[in-house]
Amino acid sequence: MRTRYTDTEDCTCDICGRKKFSKFVRTTKKNKPGDLKKLVGFSIHHKHYRTMYKESRDDIMILCNNCHDAGHMLATNSRICPSVYGQLYDNFVTQTGWEHEPYIIRKKQKYVNKGKKAG
Ligand SMILES: [Zn+2]
Ligand SMILES: [Zn+2]
Protein backbone atom coordinates (compact mmCIF):
# COMPACT_ATOMS: atom_id res chain seq x y z
CA MET A 1 0.00 0.00 0.00
CA ARG A 2 1.38 3.38 -0.90
CA THR A 3 1.66 6.18 1.59
CA ARG A 4 -1.16 8.63 1.31
CA TYR A 5 -0.18 12.01 -0.06
CA THR A 6 -1.10 13.73 3.17
CA ASP A 7 0.84 11.37 5.41
CA THR A 8 4.31 12.26 4.26
CA GLU A 9 6.44 14.19 6.69
CA ASP A 10 6.99 17.10 4.30
CA CYS A 11 3.30 17.41 3.37
CA THR A 12 2.80 21.07 2.37
CA CYS A 13 -0.28 22.97 1.27
CA ASP A 14 -0.21 23.61 -2.49
CA ILE A 15 -1.75 27.04 -1.98
CA CYS A 16 -0.54 28.68 1.23
CA GLY A 17 2.59 26.62 1.81
CA ARG A 18 1.95 25.73 5.42
CA LYS A 19 3.15 22.36 6.58
CA LYS A 20 1.04 19.63 8.10
CA PHE A 21 3.67 18.53 10.61
CA SER A 22 6.40 19.94 12.73
CA LYS A 23 8.92 17.79 14.55
CA PHE A 24 9.37 17.43 18.25
CA VAL A 25 12.68 18.91 19.30
CA ARG A 26 12.72 17.73 22.90
CA THR A 27 11.78 14.49 24.56
CA THR A 28 8.34 14.56 26.13
CA LYS A 29 6.35 11.93 28.01
CA LYS A 30 5.05 10.47 24.77
CA ASN A 31 7.46 11.70 22.12
CA LYS A 32 11.09 11.79 21.27
CA PRO A 33 12.95 14.31 19.13
CA GLY A 34 12.07 13.88 15.47
CA ASP A 35 8.57 12.57 16.06
CA LEU A 36 5.97 14.31 13.95
CA LYS A 37 3.48 16.66 15.51
CA LYS A 38 0.36 17.39 13.48
CA LEU A 39 -0.27 21.11 13.15
CA VAL A 40 -3.32 21.32 10.95
CA GLY A 41 -5.79 19.11 9.09
CA PHE A 42 -5.23 18.46 5.42
CA SER A 43 -7.45 17.31 2.57
CA ILE A 44 -6.92 15.87 -0.85
CA HIS A 45 -8.80 18.02 -3.33
CA HIS A 46 -9.77 16.26 -6.54
CA LYS A 47 -9.61 18.51 -9.58
CA HIS A 48 -11.89 15.97 -11.19
CA TYR A 49 -13.07 12.48 -10.36
CA ARG A 50 -12.20 10.66 -13.57
CA THR A 51 -9.25 8.91 -11.96
CA MET A 52 -10.74 8.33 -8.52
CA TYR A 53 -8.70 5.81 -6.48
CA LYS A 54 -5.89 5.82 -9.03
CA GLU A 55 -5.23 9.51 -9.05
CA SER A 56 -1.87 10.86 -10.03
CA ARG A 57 -0.35 13.92 -8.41
CA ASP A 58 -1.61 16.05 -11.30
CA ASP A 59 -5.22 15.07 -10.61
CA ILE A 60 -5.26 16.41 -7.08
CA MET A 61 -4.26 19.31 -4.92
CA ILE A 62 -2.89 18.76 -1.43
CA LEU A 63 -4.41 21.46 0.71
CA CYS A 64 -4.71 22.48 4.31
CA ASN A 65 -8.33 22.50 5.35
CA ASN A 66 -8.45 26.30 5.38
CA CYS A 67 -7.46 26.60 1.72
CA HIS A 68 -9.62 23.64 0.73
CA ASP A 69 -12.69 25.08 2.43
CA ALA A 70 -11.98 28.52 0.96
CA GLY A 71 -11.84 27.10 -2.57
CA HIS A 72 -15.12 25.28 -2.26
CA MET A 73 -16.76 28.24 -0.52
CA LEU A 74 -15.70 30.61 -3.29
CA ALA A 75 -16.77 28.17 -6.00
CA THR A 76 -20.22 27.74 -4.45
CA ASN A 77 -20.72 31.39 -3.62
CA SER A 78 -19.59 32.54 -7.05
CA ARG A 79 -22.56 30.62 -8.45
CA ILE A 80 -25.00 31.81 -5.79
CA CYS A 81 -23.87 35.41 -5.73
CA PRO A 82 -21.65 36.20 -8.72
CA SER A 83 -21.73 39.95 -8.22
CA VAL A 84 -19.88 39.62 -4.91
CA TYR A 85 -17.91 36.41 -5.32
CA GLY A 86 -17.39 36.01 -9.06
CA GLN A 87 -14.28 38.14 -9.29
CA LEU A 88 -12.88 36.75 -6.04
CA TYR A 89 -13.25 33.24 -7.34
CA ASP A 90 -11.69 34.13 -10.68
CA ASN A 91 -8.71 35.61 -8.87
CA PHE A 92 -8.45 32.56 -6.62
CA VAL A 93 -8.42 30.24 -9.63
CA THR A 94 -5.79 32.32 -11.40
CA GLN A 95 -3.51 32.57 -8.41
CA THR A 96 -3.75 29.03 -7.07
CA GLY A 97 -4.36 26.77 -10.06
CA TRP A 98 -7.58 25.59 -8.44
CA GLU A 99 -9.63 23.34 -10.68
CA HIS A 100 -12.81 21.61 -9.79
CA GLU A 101 -15.19 19.48 -11.74
CA PRO A 102 -18.20 18.55 -9.61
CA TYR A 103 -18.98 14.91 -9.08
CA ILE A 104 -21.85 14.50 -11.48
CA ILE A 105 -22.33 12.47 -14.59
CA ARG A 106 -21.98 14.99 -17.30
CA LYS A 107 -24.19 14.37 -20.26
CA LYS A 108 -23.78 16.40 -23.34
CA GLN A 109 -25.99 19.33 -22.79
CA LYS A 110 -28.83 19.48 -25.23
CA TYR A 111 -31.30 22.23 -24.87
CA VAL A 112 -34.51 21.17 -26.49
CA ASN A 113 -36.72 24.00 -27.45
CA LYS A 114 -40.18 22.92 -26.42
CA GLY A 115 -42.16 25.28 -28.54
CA LYS A 116 -41.32 28.53 -26.84
CA LYS A 117 -39.80 31.06 -29.12
CA ALA A 118 -36.85 32.86 -27.75
CA GLY A 119 -37.75 36.40 -27.32
ZN1 LIG B 1 -3.32 26.17 2.80
ZN1 LIG C 1 -12.16 19.57 -2.78
Tens of pLDDT along 2-59?
568 899 999 999 999 999 999 999 999 999 999 999 999 999 999 998 888 888 999 9
User: What distance in angstroms lies between residue 62's CA and the mean position of ligand 2's atoms?
Assistant: 9
Residue 2 Cα to ligand 1 midpoint, Å, equals 24
Q: What is the pLDDT of residue 49?
A: 86
Protein residues with C-beta less than 5 angstroms from the ion ligand 1 = 13, 15-16, 64, 67
Query: For residue 65, how far is its CA from the centre of ligand 1 (angstroms)?
Result: 7
Ligand 2 centre distance from Cα of residue 72 (Å): 6
Give the model's pLDDT for residue 52: 84
What pLDDT score was predicted for residue 5?
87
Between the CA of 70 and the centroid of ligand 2 the distance, in Å, is: 10
State mean pLDDT over 58-63: 96
Could you give the CA distance from residue 44 to residue 7 in angstroms, rounded to a whole number? 11
pLDDT at residue 91 greater than cutoff 70:
yes
Task: Note the ligand closest to the C-alpha atom of 69.
Answer: 2
pTM value is 0.78
Q: CA angle at residue 93 from 92 to 97, to 5 degrees? A: 115
The pLDDT value recorded for residue 37 is 95
Residue 111 pLDDT greater than 90, yes or no: no
Does the pLDDT of residue 105 top 60, yes or no?
A: no
Strand pairing category for 60-64 and 21-23: unpaired
